[in-house]
Structure 1
Amino acid sequence: MAYDPEEVSSYELGLKSRWLDDRLQLNAAVFRNDISDMQLAIFLADAAASSVVTNAGKATVQGFEIEILAQPLDNLQLSLNYGYLDPEYDEYIDGGVDVSDNRDFPYSPENTANAGLQYTVPGVAGGDLVARLDWIYVDDRVAYPDPAQNLRSQLDSYSLINGRLSLADIPVGDGRITVAAWGKNLTDETYRVNTLPFLIWTASYFGDPRTYGLEISYDF
């Protein structure tokens, strides 16, 4: 099926600032995207589980982002990010009819946030011992423009906690070695990231469960 190219006009206004002898940074941005001939992949829910790309019409996507970086102590770093998203169809033509009031915006969580904490202990085994903890939040969202397909395909909100402990920049020979242990989804959260809704059942795809790992790298 042929479709037209998508056109986007983007506008953004941002602020970057530093305070308290650079120990505090505050960054913010507001944005707006005016989209015409918007391309969307439409799931057909047929035996082949196929999708087609179509031009939905016109849409406005706007929102803002805030970032805060702080260093209250020499070895302690804090970060906080928040994003707000407000997408809306201005026109959605389906079968020659404008159905923009009855269509959802897929994969567009209204609220997203993440926070991080990092503490560094210098001079450990000739390198730096770095401990980091991150928290991630994603608001609930839908997977498809058609509300009927989202009845059994709602993607609920979720939050994840990731951690990492590394011993970095240890001098070895002519280079430096870094050893790190990490864990993702430490609370073993179960969350859906995508779905395929058929007539009487729904296939679900889930995010990774609790995962651990060990990394060793050597920089020449």
Structure 2
Amino acid sequence: ATARGFGIYGLGCSTLSDRLDFWAGVRTTYDRREMTRFFTADRSLGGTDNQFCIDFGGTPGGSSCGNLLIFADQRYDAVTWGAGLDFQVSDDVFTYLKVDKGFRAGGVNGRGSGAIFAAGGLTFDPEFLTMWETGVKADWLDNRLRTNLAIYTGRYTNVQTTVFIPLGPTSITSRGNSGSASVHGGELEVTALPLTGLQLRGGIGVSKFKWQTGPKTSKAGVSGTNRLGKTEERGTPELTANFSARYTTPPVDLDNHGELEFSFQVDWAYRSHQKGES
């Protein structure tokens, strides 16, 4: 399997006033995914001809090939963009508003048996995300306290999800596409310098993923497939938090050998339970 990517982008900024700036950018992305897989054992493709099966014994196609070659060559192109406003409220307070469109390339399922390919699960399509974000960054108390607050909302289309394909008493997992979804959340980061040598840092984040349409339970021409439903939350916990404390001792002069100082740090992190975890 091989993956290649190539992108061209440009970014421009315009000063609208002494405190307000506007910026915008655009990117064109070209992605290519190739995969070739060869089976030497007999594999059944469900009893129908399949374009991905070549019998090196001289019989192309067929429901069962003694030497099975599975191949794919997919190209994914996308134009993504971003734009925003940056406003310097004062020397210590900065705020912004931006919107971005992102792109996750499609791909090729390189694992599993011929049943995946017979079910039309060889490739999956690109996913897109449009995200709005606003935030405020500020310094307080003569730069001894810094806060960074951000709030965002976004919408996914053609969401990439896990697909279960039943195969007798078991099932095979591969990658596929479902409907659209939304995500909302926010983050707050705080840095404080209460004493000389002591730095305290903490943060909290919330994120909520919700299906809007879908997920699909089947795909045209594919029977017996199942996309994960509302139990799949993109692997993102709804709540995260972190805290760290770092203390650095005053430097000790070692005469002509420089200075010596010690640092001590404590870290703590938390994330809420993710669906799918035991």
Cα distance in 2, alignment partners of residues 80 and 26 from structure 1: 9
| Residue correspondence of structure 1 range 86-125 to structure 2 within 5 A | 86-89=155-158, 103-105=178-180, 110-123=183-196
Moved more, 80-89 or 150-159: 150-159
Instruction: Considering Cα pairs closer than 8 Å and 6+ residues apart, tell me whether 1 or 2 has the greater RCO.
Output: 1
Cα drift, residue 76 of structure 1: 1.3
1:67 matched to which residue of 2? 135
What amino acid maps onto 1:191 in structure 2? Answer: Q
Q: 1 CA distance for matches of 2:124 and 2:242?
A: 38
Go from structure 1 to structure 2 and tell me whether the alpha carbon gap of 1:86 and 1:151 turns closer, same or farther (over 3 Å shift). Answer: closer
- TM-score by structure 1 length? 0.60
Q: Which residue of 2 aligns with 1:162?
A: 242
TM-score (norm 2): 0.49
How far did residue 13 of structure 1 move?
0.9
Kindly tell me: are residues 146 and 157 of structure 1, through their superposed partners in 2, closer, same or farther at Cα, counting changes over 3 Å? farther
CA pair 110-40 structure 1, distance change in 2 beyond 3 A: farther
Which residue pairs with 2:88 in the alignment?
18
The DSSP-based 3-state class of the residue aligned with 1:6 is strand
Asked if structure 1 preserves the Cα contact closer than 8 Å seen for 2:84 and 2:96, the reply is yes
Aligned runs of 1:128-167 on 2, under 5 Å? 128-141=197-210, 146-147=216-217, 148-151=226-229, 153-155=231-233, 158-167=238-247
1:1-45 deviation line (CA, Å, top 9, x unaligned): 41413222111112222222x21111221123578xx50566999
Q: Report the counterpart of residue 79 of structure 1 in structure 2.
A: 148
Identity level (%) = 12
Distance 1:30 1:111 in 2: 14
CA contact (8 A) 2:215 2:229 kept: no
For residues 146 and 175 of structure 1, the distance between their equivalents in structure 2, rounded to whole angstroms, comes to 63
In 2, the alpha carbon distance for the partners of 1:178 and 1:114 equals 28
Q: CA deviation at 1:81?
A: 1.1
Which AA in structure 2 matches 1:178?
A: S
1:109–1:138: 8 Å Cα contact kept in structure 2? Answer: no
Q: Give the structure 2 partner of residue 197 of structure 1.
A: none
* Unpaired runs of at least 5, structure 2: 1-70, 159-176, 218-225, 253-257
Q: State the Cα distance separating 1:79 from its structure 2 match.
A: 1.2
* Deviation string, structure 1 residues 124-157 (Cα, Å, up to 9, x no partner): xxxx211122101121257x96454323733286
